[in-house]
Chain A
Amino acid sequence: MIPEIGHFALILALALALVQSLVPLIGARRGDASLMAVADVTAPAQAGFTALSFACLVTCYVVSDFSVAVVFENSHSAMPAIYRFTSVWGNHEGSMLLWVLILSVFGALVALAARNVPASFKATALAVQAWIAAAFYLFILTTSNPFARLSPAPFEGRDLNPILQDLGLAVHPPLLYLGYVGFSIAFSFAVAALIEGRINAAWARFVRPWVLLAWMCLTLGIAMGSYWAYYELGWGGWWFWDPVENASLMPWLVGTALLHSAVVMEKREALKVWTILLAILAFSLSLIGTFLVRSGVLTSVHAFATDPARGVFILAILILFIGGALALFAWRAPLLRQGGLFAPVSREGALVLNNLFIITACATVFVGTLYPLALEAFTGEKISVGAPFFNITFGPLFIPLLVAVPFGPLLAWKRADLAGVAQRLSAAYVVALLGIGATFALQGYPVLPALGVGLAMFVMAGSVIDLVERTSLLRAPLATAWRRARGLPRSNWGTALAHFGLGVCLLGIIGETQWGAEKIVTMKPHDKVALRTYEFQYEGSTSRTGPNYRETVAKFTVRHNREVIGLMEPSRRAFPSRGSSTTEAALMTRGLSQLYVSLGEQADDGSLAVRIYHKPMVLLIWLGAVLMAMGGGLSLSDRRLRVGAPRPAKARGALQPAE
């Protein structure tokens, strides 16, 4: 009964979406307020029915109703309750349902929160949102029904893929989807702007919080996925330039560019057309990302052939929305009025440069990710484009961007004094040079990592200088600086924190890739292995039984300079229901660095293959990403951006420092 209720609720949601995709649009064209207001009711109702449908699917998983096909395929009654819950989105059907759930909830939030947007504009945007939703409901209902039944019902499920039975991966897809789907709001409002043929700074003011929210979730989602890969796959890598990762990186890059160009549009009414294009591209890449991962196209273009209905539907959605939006853009964008003028050397100019480099870097990732697919589709030749490609294309394009980061926030709007800004950054050069010198003194050749550390230091110091300058910390009495710091808009703090996080992340990447150490050895009980200043002694293995697996746990005593600093217990888990196994690495955190032990196979004579890594500064990689997301959060809490927040009183506004 419960699956049928879920199925029916989804059909009702589709019906509501179809109404919402037409009626408000007609209302907006005719200026009929009552027709436009329909969206205010249908959007929350749609979200309600999708939530009901999702709740039904969750119930099927939690009570292990194996008569439902996806539950049978992806769950097991012995699995811990939390994984029975999270395996809801550990497969194609469930994750698509989660996707539309987030989409409809965002739509409902727009309907409820957007009070300061012109009614026709909001109605058009909600109609566009409903087009997307309707396409996805149809896709789910016709090709990927999560409520399909099996008869007779099996007694036991096939279990979730063991590597997915992990908390990190449980929260990773929802975060990514929040990011992907969050960009749909920017997309809908961009399309609405094109249909209405007008756009102004208010557009950016309204859209930017949504973009920020989406960007934050995407940042955290990518970081989470990277950390999961690091500890779960057992060989210590944190980024593979795998197509699946690139699929999430591309919307992130365009989203970052959009975030920056929306600032220009909000403050200066410039870059309007470009911002609209970015809003379309960010969501287009999110769509491509979702489908690349979900459809199986990535493993091969021929994956389309394994389920032609799904593949064709996916292609149709991509062509309809991306092609349609871009065509609309080409047709209507010339109607949008030109914005404010600015000199090449100005904050606007810097943000244009930022956009240029980010988009170009994104384009190289796009080429590297899709070229093998295109080549195979047209010539049948199979190639793999791996990390070396991305390192030598993405890297050189990102370095100038990083060099420019500290300059951006210090430049004035409209026309700026580059020499003056360069002078104000002198402390940052000193910090960068100290970083290079200290690294070189400690590590010696090669020089490149030292320069990288210098660059990271420069970015970090630059963001500190930005704050120091804005609060006039060194020029004014402390009390004045304190007052200015308190009056400084949170978005300024957010910018500085996010840029600082970028530097932190770079530092971690350099540390891990340049100075990491690894050893792969076979060990018998009581054998010792030294790595750097650490010594690992293998004490022997024991067996344990988990809820749905058996594991062999190896114990290692770790010594640092002959002092015992702890015990590390990596294990290998065998999951009988799937006949597969996973490696659970053991991690020991030492400051910002980590020791990492994972197990390979055990030979017949009892010797064990072991991988041991020392990963210096590795935690900075994810800490940097978290700082970036926190910066986004600070910006989001800025009162100017708060959706529906009343305008600050004039007197309080006067305290805000000039920018």
Chain B
Amino acid sequence: MTRRQRRLALIGVAGVVLAVAVALVLNALRDTIVFFNSPTDIVEKHVGPGTRIRLGGVVAAGSVVRSDNLNVTFQVTDGSNTIAVAYQGILPDLFREGQGVIAEGALDAAGGFKADTVLAKHDEKYMPKEVADALKKQGHWKEESGRNGLVPAGTPPAAAPAPKS
């Protein structure tokens, strides 16, 4: 083989690997990404039941109800709209009423949100950025309610999901 042929062979192999990677990425982006929505987004965009989304907002004060088998219900609000969330499992350490939360799951037919993962941020002063933005959009944002907590280099998760129940 000449240098030129070798280079062509190399470029060919690289092209194939890259094509496979691009196909994998595009396919994965279609199937695995999850959109973030505030309660208002859900009401306005008419998100259908069964679509996986992330719901972010503030846990409404006095809304957390715990029952047997680690079942818990609470309401997530952005000040304008409120969605009821049902979850089974252990909530993260930083889950509090009146503080920011992100729940991942899907709406059920009745319009309630069934979460399989609940995320709360590490630093208790920290309001998830998405939630803060959503609150700002709804005009319910107070500057002191969120302060960006500094997480150290390589701290693995900015948010610690509770495991699926």
Which of A's residues lie within 8 Å of B, judged by CB? 89-92, 95, 161, 163-164, 169, 172-173, 176-177, 221-222, 225-226, 228-229, 233-237, 239-240, 242-245, 247-248, 290, 293-294, 296, 298-300, 302-303, 306, 338, 341, 343-344, 352-353, 356-357, 360-361, 363-364, 367-368, 371-372, 381-386, 388-389, 392-393, 396-397, 518, 520-522, 572, 578-583, 600-601, 603, 609, 611
B30 to chain A, nearest CB (A): 10
CA distance A248 to B154 in the complex (A): 7
Given the known interface contacts A356-B17, A360-B21, the answer about A293 and B153 at a Cβ–Cβ threshold of 8 Å is: yes
For residue B24, which residue of chain A has the nearest CB?
Answer: A393
Given A234-B160, A244-B154, A299-B158, 12 new contacts (CB under 8 A): A95-B152, A226-B156, A244-B153, A244-B158, A245-B154, A356-B14, A371-B29, A386-B32, A388-B28, A388-B32, A521-B70, A609-B70
Interface flags for B114-158 (1: CB within 8 Å of A; 0: not) read 000000001110001110010000000000000011111111111
Which of B's residues lie within 8 Å of A, judged by CB? 1, 3, 6, 9-10, 13-14, 17-18, 20-21, 24-25, 27-29, 31-36, 54, 66, 68-70, 89-91, 93-94, 104, 122-124, 128-130, 133, 148-163, 165
Question: Given the complex, which residues of A lie within 8 Å of B27, measured CB to CB?
Answer: 392
For residue A522, which residue of chain B has the nearest CB?
Answer: B70
Question: Given the complex, which residues of A lie within 8 Å of B149, measured CB to CB?
Answer: 161
Q: Are A92 and B150 in contact (CB under 8 A)?
A: yes
Q: Are A173 and B6 in contact (CB under 8 A)?
A: no
Q: Are B35 and A601 in contact (CB under 8 A)?
A: no
Q: Are A384 and B54 in contact (CB under 8 A)?
A: yes
Q: List 15 A-B contacts (CB under 8 A).
A: A90-B152, A95-B153, A163-B122, A343-B1, A344-B1, A360-B21, A368-B28, A381-B35, A388-B28, A393-B25, A522-B69, A580-B93, A580-B124, A600-B90, A611-B163
A90 to chain B, nearest CB (A): 5
- Contacting residue for A367 out of B25, B68, B70, B104, CB 8 A: B25
Question: Given the complex, which residues of B lie within 8 Å of A522, measured CB to CB?
Answer: 68-70
Q: Are B156 and A601 in contact (CB under 8 A)?
A: no
Question: Given the complex, which residues of A lie within 8 Å of B66, measured CB to CB?
Answer: 603
A157 to chain B, nearest CB (A): 15
Given the known interface contacts A299-B148, A357-B17, A360-B21, the answer about A611 and B158 at a Cβ–Cβ threshold of 8 Å is: no
For residue A169, which residue of chain B has the nearest CB?
Answer: B152
Q: Are B90 and A601 in contact (CB under 8 A)?
A: yes
Q: Are A601 and B91 in contact (CB under 8 A)?
A: yes
Q: Are A579 and B124 in contact (CB under 8 A)?
A: yes
A375 to chain B, nearest CB (A): 9
Q: Are A520 and B90 in contact (CB under 8 A)?
A: yes
Given the known interface contacts A352-B10, A385-B32, the answer about A580 and B157 at a Cβ–Cβ threshold of 8 Å is: no
- Contacting residue for B89 out of A247, A352, A520, CB 8 A: A520
- Contacting residue for B156 out of A229, A383, A392, A520, CB 8 A: A229
For residue B33, which residue of chain A has the nearest CB?
Answer: A383
Q: Are A397 and B24 in contact (CB under 8 A)?
A: yes
Q: Are A242 and B157 in contact (CB under 8 A)?
A: yes
Q: Are B154 and A222 in contact (CB under 8 A)?
A: yes
Question: Given the complex, which residues of B lie within 8 Å of A361, measured CB to CB?
Answer: 21
Question: Given the complex, which residues of B lie within 8 Å of A91, measured CB to CB?
Answer: 150, 152
CA distance A609 to B94 in the complex (A): 15
Q: Are B154 and A386 in contact (CB under 8 A)?
A: no
Question: Given the complex, which residues of A lie within 8 Å of B129, measured CB to CB?
Answer: 299-300, 302-303
CA distance A139 to B157 in the complex (A): 26
For residue A91, which residue of chain B has the nearest CB?
Answer: B150
B77 to chain A, nearest CB (A): 18
Given the known interface contacts A293-B151, A384-B34, A578-B124, the answer about A244 and B163 at a Cβ–Cβ threshold of 8 Å is: no
- Contacting residue for A233 out of B20, B31, B89, B160, CB 8 A: B160
Q: Are A389 and B28 in contact (CB under 8 A)?
A: yes
Q: Are B150 and A382 in contact (CB under 8 A)?
A: no
CA distance A360 to B19 in the complex (A): 10
Q: Are A392 and B28 in contact (CB under 8 A)?
A: yes
Q: Are B36 and A384 in contact (CB under 8 A)?
A: yes
Question: Given the complex, which residues of A lie within 8 Å of B9, measured CB to CB?
Answer: 344
Given the known interface contacts A92-B150, A169-B152, A601-B90, the answer about A518 and B158 at a Cβ–Cβ threshold of 8 Å is: no
B24 to chain A, nearest CB (A): 4
CA distance A381 to B122 in the complex (A): 24
For residue A247, which residue of chain B has the nearest CB?
Answer: B154
Question: Given the complex, which residues of B lie within 8 Å of A225, measured CB to CB?
Answer: 154-156
- Contacting residue for A356 out of B13, B123, B162, CB 8 A: B13
Question: Given the complex, which residues of B lie within 8 Å of A306, measured CB to CB?
Answer: 148
Q: Which of A240, A247, A381, A582 has the most CB of B within 10 A?
A: A240
CA distance A591 to B17 in the complex (A): 40
- Contacting residue for B6 out of A95, A344, A364, A371, CB 8 A: A344
Q: Are A177 and B153 in contact (CB under 8 A)?
A: yes
Question: Given the complex, which residues of A lie within 8 Å of B24, measured CB to CB?
Answer: 364, 392-393, 396-397
For residue B119, which residue of chain A has the nearest CB?
Answer: A384
Question: Given the complex, which residues of B lie within 8 Å of A583, measured CB to CB?
Answer: 93
CA distance A172 to B28 in the complex (A): 31
For residue A579, which residue of chain B has the nearest CB?
Answer: B124
Q: Are A242 and B158 in contact (CB under 8 A)?
A: yes
Q: Are A298 and B152 in contact (CB under 8 A)?
A: no
CA distance A240 to B122 in the complex (A): 15
Given the known interface contacts A161-B123, A392-B27, A601-B91, the answer about A173 and B154 at a Cβ–Cβ threshold of 8 Å is: yes
A324 to chain B, nearest CB (A): 24
Q: Are A176 and B122 in contact (CB under 8 A)?
A: no
CA distance A381 to B133 in the complex (A): 12
Given the known interface contacts A392-B32, A520-B165, the answer about A296 and B25 at a Cβ–Cβ threshold of 8 Å is: no
CA distance A361 to B24 in the complex (A): 11
- Contacting residue for B17 out of A245, A360, A384, A581, CB 8 A: A360
B119 to chain A, nearest CB (A): 10
Given the known interface contacts A302-B129, A382-B35, A384-B54, the answer about A244 and B70 at a Cβ–Cβ threshold of 8 Å is: no
Q: Are A384 and B165 in contact (CB under 8 A)?
A: no
B160 to chain A, nearest CB (A): 5
Question: Given the complex, which residues of B lie within 8 Å of A578, measured CB to CB?
Answer: 124
